[in-house]
Amino acid sequence: MSRTIGVFDSGVGGLSVLQYIREALPEARLIYVADSGHVPYGGRSAAFIEARGMALTRFLLSQGAEAIVIACNTATAAAAAPLRRQFSKIPFIGMEPAVKPAVAATQSKVVGVLATVGTLESARFAALLEKYAGDVRIVTQGCPGLVDLVERGDLRSIEARRLVERYTAPLLEAGADTFILGCTHYPFLAPLIREVVGEQIALIDTGAAVARELKRRVDTELPPCMQMGVVGDEIFHSSGDIERATRIVSQLWGADVTVQPLPQAYS
């Protein structure tokens, strides 16, 4: 059998990470769960997000997942540690805002962070700043509404542009020349963000780094895979409205897909 990798997010944003995972592990079966019935996680309590992480992990393990990617910054901050304790034999790869590469990239010594409030208020994010910021000024901006735009597949509307303009303006005014896209939904808005802020601003997300770390851990921590040379497939599930999920996932994935309902026991 080929590898089976589980991936979950509060909604469809983690598809931006799944694209990198597919490139890194072309032979793997990828099982993706969009928890769109509970999106966004940004305003949820840590206890709620942890409970959802436990449920989604149990589902992915029931489907044969050998490693799990928490393709959500907010869920990583709230649930990664308890998930690793509960399922200690399973490799978990989480997301975190790309503070280290952004600090290395900035010329103005000012880095802007676009993220959910849940991510910005987490102890994990505070620890990242403590470890990597150094003499670089980090300007943070919570972005209510951006996740909802991506969940609707609304990447180009006037409303989307106005929100992007509102949230990027304070970072530009502070002199930031590097923006961290601190939520997996935001790379889908990167073309619009680029139009608003200009070519001179570096946009950094962590999808490629997460895929590399996943491949490293799969290669070093899992038993050898006997079946080689196969072409992997993708299986999509959602806890939200399935007709809508099928439309939005197909739009963002760039191909027609079928999204299956997440079983009630895990929803």
Domains and their CATH numbers in the chain? 4-95+207-266 (3.40.50.1860), 99-204 (3.40.50.1860)
Per-residue pLDDT, averaged over 256-266, amounts to 97
d(CA 37, CA 66): 25
Known catalytic residue: 72?
yes
What pLDDT score was predicted for residue 225?
A: 74
- pLDDT for residue 230 is more than 70: no
What is the band of 231 on the pLDDT scale with cuts at 50, 70, 90? low
Known catalytic residue: 183?
yes
Q: What are 140-183's pLDDT values in tens digits?
A: 999 999 999 999 999 999 999 999 999 999 999 999 999 999 99
What pLDDT score was predicted for residue 228?
A: 57
Out of 23-27, 141-145, 189-193, 220-224, pick the least confident.
220-224
d(CA 167, CA 143): 6
Distances (CA, A) of 128 to 72, 104, 119, 137: 16, 14, 11, 13
Cβ atoms of 18 and 187 within 8 Å: the answer is no
User: pTM of the predicted model, to two decimals?
Assistant: 0.94
What pLDDT score was predicted for residue 150?
A: 97
Per-residue pLDDT, averaged over 133-137, amounts to 97
Cβ atoms of 5 and 66 within 8 Å: the answer is yes
User: What value does the mean pLDDT of the chain take?
Assistant: 95
Q: What are 74-124's pLDDT values in tens digits?
A: 999 999 999 999 999 999 999 999 999 999 999 999 999 999 998 999 999
Q: Which of 98, 183, 196, 204 is flagged as catalytic? A: 183
Q: Which of 72, 75, 102, 120 is flagged as catalytic? A: 72
